[in-house]
Chains A and B, each alone.
Chain A
Amino acid sequence: MNANPIEGGDIVLSVQGLKKNIGGKPIIRGVSFDVRAGEIFGFLGPNGSGKTTTIRMLVDLIKPTGGRVLVCGEDVSRSPEKALRHVGCIVENPEMYGYLTGWENLEHFARMQKGITRERILEVAEIVGLDKRIHDKVKTYSLGMRQRLGIAQALLGSPKLLILDEPTNGLDPLGIKELRAFIRRLADEGMSLFISSHLLSEIQLMCDRVAIISHGEVIAVGKVEELIAHADTYTLWLLDQPGKGRGMLAADPNVRLVGEHEHRIDDAVLAGMKEAIVTVMDEDRIPGMVAELVRAGVEVRAVQRVTPSLEELFLSLTEGEGIG
Chain B
Amino acid sequence: MAEWLALVQNETIKVWKKKRFAFVVLVLLVLIPVFVYAQMKIAQNSAEKFKGDWRAELQNRITDNTRALGSERIPEEWKKWRRALVQQLQYYLDHDMNPNTPNAVTFTRGYLDNSVTLFIPLMVLAIASDLVSGERSTGTIKMLLTRPVRRWRILLSKLVTLTLYVSLIIVTNAALCYLISGLAFGYQGWGEPIFTGFRVSGADVNVATVHAVPQYMYLLMQAGLVWCSAMTVAVLALMVSVLVRSTAASFVTMMAAVIAGTVLTNMASSWHSAKYLFNVNLELTDYLQGTPPPIEGMTLGFSLAMLGIWAAAGLAVSFAVFTKQDILN
Q: Which residues of A contact B (CB under 8 A)?
A: 22, 56, 59-63, 80-85, 87, 89, 91-93, 95-100, 104, 108-109, 111-114, 153, 157
Contacts and interface: CB of A to CB of B under 8 A. Distances in A.
B143 A82 contact: no
A104 B17 CA distance: 10
Contacts of B13: 100, 104, 108
A99 B143 CA distance: 15
B146 A60 contact: yes
Nearest to B151: A80
Nearest to A97: B140
B146 A111 contact: no
By Cβ-Cβ distance, the 6 closest A-B pairs, closest first, are A95-B139, A111-B6, A61-B327, A112-B147, A84-B148, A59-B146
27 contacts: A61-B142, A61-B145, A61-B146, A61-B327, A62-B327, A80-B150, A81-B149, A82-B148, A84-B147, A91-B142, A95-B138, A95-B139, A95-B143, A96-B143, A97-B17, A98-B138, A99-B19, A100-B13, A104-B13, A104-B17, A108-B10, A109-B147, A111-B6, A111-B9, A111-B10, A112-B10, A153-B143
Most buried by A among B18, B139, B147, B326: B147
Interface string B124-166: 0000000000000011101111111111000000000000000
Given A56-B326, A98-B138, A111-B9, 11 more contacts: A60-B145, A61-B145, A62-B327, A82-B148, A84-B148, A89-B146, A91-B142, A95-B143, A104-B13, A104-B17, A113-B147
B149 A92 contact: no
B148 A80 contact: yes
A96 to B, nearest CB: 7
A232 to B, nearest CB: 38
Contact of B14 (A81, A97, A113, A153): A97
Nearest to B149: A112
A61 B324 CA distance: 9
Tell me what chain A mostly uses at the interface: helix, strand, loop, or mixed: loop
Interface in B4-20: 6-7, 9-10, 13-14, 17-19
Contacts of B146: 59-61, 84, 87, 89, 91
A93 B147 contact: no
Nearest to A137: B17
Contacts of A153: 143
Interface of B: 3, 6-7, 9-10, 13-14, 17-19, 138-140, 142-151, 324, 326-328
Contacts, number: 79
Contacts of B144: 112
B18 to A, nearest CB: 5
Given A62-B326, A63-B326, A112 B7 contact: yes
Contact of A113 (B19, B148, B151, B326): B148
Contacts of B143: 95-96, 109, 153
Contact of B148 (A98, A99, A108, A112): A112
B14 A85 contact: no
A74 B6 CA distance: 25
A89 B148 CA distance: 12
Contacts of B149: 81, 112-113
A131 B148 CA distance: 26
A112 B5 CA distance: 10
A299 B151 CA distance: 68
Contacts of B19: 99
B19 to A, nearest CB: 8
Contacts of A100: 13-14, 17
Contacts of B17: 97, 99-100, 104
B148 to A, nearest CB: 4
A97 B144 CA distance: 11
A81 B148 contact: yes
Nearest to B328: A62
A85 B146 CA distance: 9
Contacts of B140: 95-97
A143 to B, nearest CB: 14
B150 to A, nearest CB: 5
Nearest to B18: A99
Contacts of B145: 60-61
A4 B266 CA distance: 67
Contacts of A108: 10, 13-14
B20 to A, nearest CB: 10
A108 B16 CA distance: 13
A93 B328 CA distance: 14
Nearest to A114: B3
A61 B6 contact: no
Contacts of A80: 148, 150-151
B320 to A, nearest CB: 13
B139 A93 contact: yes
B204 to A, nearest CB: 56
Contacts of A56: 326-328
A283 B3 CA distance: 60
A112 B6 contact: yes
A87 B149 CA distance: 12
A104 B324 CA distance: 29
Contacts of B10: 108, 111-112
Nearest to B329: A92
Nearest to A53: B328
B48 to A, nearest CB: 51
A109 to B, nearest CB: 6
A98 to B, nearest CB: 7
A182 B147 CA distance: 23
Contacts of B138: 95, 97-98
Contacts of A111: 6-7, 9-10
Contacts of A81: 148-150
A153 B146 CA distance: 11
B15 to A, nearest CB: 11
Contacts of B324: 63
B326 to A, nearest CB: 4
